[in-house]
Structure 1
């Protein structure tokens, strides 16, 4: 049986790319706009777990994918092509008939650069955890088997685990060009083996309790700040492999204290993002109540 291979082809729309196969894949055409619509297509479901995938189109001899603007095709197209080829040669069914059993989706992980040169994001095509975990060292990671294993790599400095990705902060002495393949392969195999990512009792950094305490009995301005961060800021920083958490609001000084995690922590552009982005947004949407936004580094 001939191995299925794909050829990357640009389209007239910058956000859509085609992966054309060397043989007919399916009869008919199918368009999926979200993961719920893709319930009968294991491949489309797999692709929708990638945060940049907006739409999937499967036709006779090609698979087209539309992306959100959080990435450029040049950054992810080769790994996406490899992921689809692996699925097709598994072999994997593209679209199930109503009476066909659902196939097990193979685990894939792709690497994505972030604005922080010290941090790289490794995105899985399945859900990893229910909540975010940040580990600054191996001691903090004792209840996260995955993070503990990652700290065994001498170049791993910090680990941040979110819903479907792992952000790794490396030591300055390491180069991503030399270690990315090793880290990506390790994480993919770890997930494929069904090992525990983090236990229910995984301990967050000590400031977690501070955040929880600070978010009880909040004033109206603090509640507004949290809502705005959740709605406008968190999705954007998550796409870059990080997270932002509200810590406190001081009405006297009109200062908002936030915690940057993952790729956002220590990122050279974080100050610009805070001042030109988040601070300005909060000043405009909560006029007269915001003086400055300060990142609290732990």
Structure 2
């Protein structure tokens, strides 16, 4: 088995591609060691002591190194952990069932409830995020989650390599905001949530 690595726009994060499905059910973000307790793989990566974030995508794992960590030393450890996991075909989650854990749904943690009168606008926003934004963000080792729409403002949360990335605010403001404003005139602004 060979695991490819790719750099991401976030210099603290590398994207690891094992050449097989990782989490076909969507994405899962582990921002703390406590979050990682649900997954033996995520926990093993945090246990290196040099990892501050793990993100499972459909066919990749993004790993964020702690400030000051040396990727030259950490990368072989991460590859070894990933190889051990995928070669042994160990379950991704403790008990083998991701559904047994509190995996946030797309609409969990909304920035308030969307106004039912905005249902068509919200549907357009979600469709654009799903078809145009999410694939590009996944290429960079992350994901984007819809968090709400209120008074012309779309609230989005960046995950994985995109969370904390130096260019994430530019991506939100210049890229995603421009796209949404072009296709959905009711959108006036995009903010991180």
TM-score using structure 2 length = 0.89
- Residue 273 of structure 1 pairs with residue 167 of structure 2: no
| Structure showing the higher helix proportion among its residues | 2
| Contact 1:108-1:124 at 8 Å conserved across structures | yes
Across the aligned residues of Structure 1 and Structure 2, the Cα RMSD in angstroms comes to 2.1
Q: Indicate the residue corresponding to 1:202 in structure 2.
A: 101
Q: 1:157 to 1:216 in 2, by over 3 A?
A: farther
Q: 1:146 to 1:285 in 2, by over 3 A?
A: same
| Contact 1:144-1:202 at 8 Å conserved across structures | no
- Residue 132 of structure 1 pairs with residue 27 of structure 2: yes
Q: Indicate the residue corresponding to 1:112 in structure 2.
A: 6
User: Could you report, residue by residue, the CA deviation over 1:51-92 in whole angstroms, capped at 9, with x for unpaired residues?
Assistant: xxxxxxxxxxxxxxxxxxxxxxxxxxxxxxxxxxxxxxxxxx
- Residue 282 of structure 1 pairs with residue 176 of structure 2: no
In 1, the alpha carbon distance for the partners of 2:63 and 2:15 equals: 6
Bigger CA radius of gyration: 1
Superposition map of 1:41-52 within 5 A: none
In 1, the alpha carbon distance for the partners of 2:87 and 2:142 equals: 24
In 2, the alpha carbon distance for the partners of 1:273 and 1:150 equals: 28
Superposition map of 1:180-219 within 5 A: 180-198=75-93, 199-200=97-98, 201-204=100-103, 209-211=108-110, 219=119
Q: Indicate the residue corresponding to 2:17 in structure 1.
A: 123
Q: 1:216 to 1:245 in 2, by over 3 A?
A: farther
Q: Indicate the residue corresponding to 1:227 in structure 2.
A: 127
SS of corresponding position for 2:36: coil
Q: Indicate the residue corresponding to 2:192 in structure 1.
A: 295
In 2, the alpha carbon distance for the partners of 1:256 and 1:282 equals: 9
In 1, the alpha carbon distance for the partners of 2:174 and 2:148 equals: 20
Q: CA deviation at 1:178?
A: 2.2
Q: Indicate the residue corresponding to 2:45 in structure 1.
A: 150
Structure 1 gaps, min length 5? 1-106
Number of aligned residues: 186
Q: 1:144 to 1:216 in 2, by over 3 A?
A: farther
- Residue 165 of structure 1 pairs with residue 65 of structure 2: no
Q: 1:207 to 1:126 in 2, by over 3 A?
A: closer
TM-score using structure 1 length = 0.59
SS of corresponding position for 1:219: helix
Which protein has greater RCO, CA pairs closer than 8 Å, 6+ apart? Answer: 2
Q: CA deviation at 1:278?
A: 0.5
In 2, the alpha carbon distance for the partners of 1:292 and 1:272 equals: 13
